[in-house]
Amino acid sequence: MIGAVRKVLRYGFELIERPFDRLFGPAMNPLAQLGALGFFFFWIVAVSGIYLFIFFDTGIERAYESVENLTNYHWFHAGVMRSFHRYASDLMVVMVVTHLLREFSYDRYRGARWFSWVTGLPIICLLYASGITGYWLVWDRLAQYVALTSSELLDWLPIFGEPIARNFISTGTLTSRFFTLMVFMHVAVPLFLLFIMWVHILRISRPKINPPRMLALLTLVALIAVSIWKPAVSQGHVDLAKAPVEVGLDWFYLPLYPLTDIWSKGGVWAFLGAFFLMLALMPWLPPLRRARPAAVDLDHCNGCARCAEDCPYEAIRMVRRTDNLPFPTQAQVNNSLCVSCGICMGSCPSSTPFRRTEDLRTGIDLPDFSLATLREQVVATAATLQTSPRVMVLACERGGGAGHVGGTVTLPCVAMAPPSLIDFILSRDLADGVVVAGCAESACYHRLGVAWTKQRFAGVRDPYLRARVPRERIATIWASALEGSRVERDIAGFQQKLAGLPPKKPRRPVSAKPAAPAAGSPRAPAAQELET
Ligand code: HEM
Ligand code: SF4
Ligand code: SF4
């Protein structure tokens, strides 16, 4: 059932996202920058909030007038800031909801990835607490409605000795101290929110917390335009003698408030409790079947730290050496963080399929899909290639290439394939061309797999694709699981291009002498072990 919902939602996101990729470019696609935009809106809200505080009178008698003054007499700076504050807060809600749905639809919240999902839940609560207390401070009719309804809801919970809703029934009983408490909450809760936002991204490496400059600039310009076109305004001074009716609601922050007129207070809490409980359990509904985590083989690890740099999930730490090899550090995998994507295996300098030994070992390997198995699968797949020119596809299991029939080796992530594997395929004449087919560029399932592959091929990230590998015989296709037909078209086009190329140079004869160890290899391989 959950799987079916995820599929439908995924389809919906793809329908919007792929055209966005073409319109904005994968790097600028706002849907791929939702987390970063969340941080960006937070900073806008924080800066505009500090600015507004200069003009805001925190006393209950003067609060409303001070807000009116900034809208009417200082509209060109403080008024615009007020609108900025309001609209950026609204956009944070839009971002959070879209981000949550997108992470769900791409299935990036189960298994070892549960942490960001679960820490996202307090973010929602704190965001709402910040927004709702913000509406109290204006002390207009909407504030009165929000204050009264929130207090009635809170009174239902057995936490306050005395009902707090009484504060809002008449002017005489409302204390300035209570209002000051709300001001304090409106400042303190966002600080805590920022702390949880930081915790939220602790388990992923290189999180995108700043949107690309152009996207940030366009967002700012749009916010300024809307703030001038439709400034945020108040809804008339509080009148505690009258119950507020007919207030204009902010549907981003207050969509549940009208429910209190239909449901009992207990019903609203039950709904909220059930909703959050369901969200909290989602990462285990059903649990993700996990392959065994990556394992380090110290005999082949020289402590170069490439795997730790490339792991997208902060699952590798460099620690002091525990064996007698002459290197200061070694890689150590934290099993509870590892998602078995294999990216570390692709980045290890020891991962070279050219080694002649049967027992092909490397510094860091996946027990359930080792480098040796990968080499075996490549060799076996090569034997099945019939049509000329022969194309081998190295496909990410989550991308559009996974559906390609014939000549395909499927990997958890394309960055699991060390560049030397492509060199191996072409120099051993296992195929005439290699297609590397990963996820859509802006939606890499393992976050950094596409980026690392591109950088390795471009020669700007170790281990890079050697210069001798004929680039015209390699194609990269970045496509989502729903773009299977485009992948087929691109593979057919690549095959045609290969047919027009001059024949490949004859394969290098296998050297009788053992070759030098690969750069950065931790130990000299045994004689006859390595062949370039
Ligand atoms: C203010 C609100 C939030 C901000 C600023 C935020 C920010 C971020 C950022 C920057 C990332 C890393 C993106 C990347 O570089 O790949 C991320 C990932 C993620 N977020 Fe959020 N987030 C927020 C709310 C939420 C909420 C409410 C949920 C869900 C309940 C959520 C679930 C996730 C998940 C599942 C990931 C992916 C982690 C992974 O790839 O393993 N986030 N978020
Ligand atoms: S397989 Fe390697 S890169 Fe992937 S999460 Fe595990 S340790 Fe990190
Ligand atoms: S040699 Fe391999 S396993 Fe060791 S630190 Fe370098 S990349 Fe990691």
38-55 per-position pLDDT tens digit: 999 999 999 999 999 998
Higher pLDDT, 88 or 357: 88
CB count in 10 Å sphere of residue 88? 24
Residue 257 · residue 149 · CB < 8 Å:
yes
What is the number of the ligand 3 atom nearest to the C-alpha of 306?
A: 7
- Position 518 scores a pLDDT of 43
Q: Which of 260-269, 304-313, 415-424 has the lowest mean pLDDT?
A: 260-269
Residue 424 · residue 507 · CB < 8 Å:
no
Cα of 482 to ligand 2 centre, how many Å?
Answer: 26
- Position 241 scores a pLDDT of 73
- Position 447 scores a pLDDT of 96
Closest alpha carbon to 394 in 433, 341, 442: 433
Which conformational region is residue 201 in: left (phi greater than 0), alpha (psi within -120 to 50 degrees), or beta?
A: alpha
What is the number of the ligand 3 atom nearest to the C-alpha of 318?
A: 5
Q: Give the binding-site residues of ligand 3, using a 6 Å CB cut-off.
A: 296, 301-307, 331, 347-350, 363-364, 522
Q: Is 341 in the pocket of ligand 2 (CB under 6 A)?
A: yes
- Position 173 scores a pLDDT of 57
Q: Which of 31-45, 184-198, 251-265, 501-515 has the lowest mean pLDDT?
A: 501-515
What is the number of the ligand 3 atom nearest to the C-alpha of 297?
A: 3
- What pairs with residue 409 in β-bridges? 394
**Per-residue pLDDT tens for 118-147?**
999 999 999 999 999 998 888 888 888 888
Cα of 35 to ligand 1 centre, how many Å?
Answer: 5
Decide if pLDDT at 521 tops 80: no
Q: How far apart are CA 258 and CA 272, in angstroms?
A: 14
> Average pLDDT of 238-245?
74
**Per-residue pLDDT tens for 329-347?**
999 999 999 999 999 999 9
- Position 508 scores a pLDDT of 54
Higher pLDDT, 517 or 25: 25
Higher pLDDT, 383 or 523: 383
pLDDT band at 248; cut points 50, 70, 90: confident
> Average pLDDT of 153-157?
85
Helices (runs of H) and strands (runs of E) counted in the chain = 16, 8
Report CA-CA distances (Å) from 229 to 22, 70, 91, 93.
Answer: 30, 17, 17, 21
Report CA-CA distances (Å) from 362 to 16, 74, 267, 525.
Answer: 41, 66, 58, 11
- Position 531 scores a pLDDT of 44
- Position 175 scores a pLDDT of 64
Q: Is 342 in the pocket of ligand 2 (CB under 6 A)?
A: yes
The SS3 call for residue 98 is helix
Chain centroid to Cα 476, Å, comes to 23
Cα of 464 to ligand 1 centre, how many Å?
Answer: 31
User: How many residues are there in the chain?
Assistant: 532
Across the chain, mean pLDDT equals 89
Decide if pLDDT at 315 tops 80: yes
Percent share of the chain, pLDDT over 90: 69
Cα of 340 to ligand 2 centre, how many Å?
Answer: 5
Nearest C-alpha to atom 25 of ligand 1 is from which residue?
120
- Position 152 scores a pLDDT of 86
Chain centroid to Cα 150, Å, comes to 33
* Sign of the alpha-carbon torsion through 435, 481, 201, 335: negative
- Position 530 scores a pLDDT of 41
Higher pLDDT, 530 or 259: 259
Cα of 99 to ligand 1 centre, how many Å?
Answer: 7
Decide if pLDDT at 106 tops 70: yes
Tell me which of 297, 302, 321, 361 to substitute to probe ligand 3's pocket, judged by most ligand atoms within 8 Å of the beta carbon: 302
Tell me which of 296, 297, 300, 304 to substitute to probe ligand 3's pocket, judged by most ligand atoms within 8 Å of the beta carbon: 304
Higher pLDDT, 301 or 162: 301
pLDDT band at 297; cut points 50, 70, 90: very high
